Amino acid sequence: MPLITVFIKRKARKHFDSLPKDTQDRVTCAIRVLRNEGLTGNLDIKQLKGLPNAFRIRIGDYRIFLELTSKDVAEIYAIKIRKNAYK
């Protein structure tokens, strides 16, 4: 049973679909770890400053941005390359 239920918003899905295949595989693996192990899993995850429920997961040069909408539900709202992620 998953520890966290993960939803991917439409915009994040479009970002995901435009990624190279090897990066898609790494992002999928990270989402699986998030779902099964939660925020304390083996991920490079940090809370975003100024946003109480927003986090980012680092996957090489890419970032997965997510928001915890409740204790056990996360919404991924963006997957971007680092150079454009924080603008």
Q: In the chain, pLDDT over 70 holds for what percent of residues?
A: 98
pLDDT tens column, 2-36? 789 999 999 999 999 999 999 999 999 999 999 99
φ, ψ of residue 4 to 5 degrees: the values are -125, 135
Total tally of structural domains belonging to the chain: 1
For residue 77, give the CATH number of its domain: 3.30.2310.20
Spatial CA neighbour of 64 closest among 3, 2, 9: 9
Instruction: Burial-class residue 6 by CB neighbours within 10 Å (0-12, 13-18, 19+).
Output: middle
Q: Which two tokens stand for residue 15?
A: 């970002």
Collapsed DSSP state (helix, strand, coil) of residue 53: coil
Quote the pLDDT of residue 86.
75
Domain extent at residue 24: 5-85
Biggest CA-to-CA distance, the chain: 36
- pTM higher than 0.75: yes
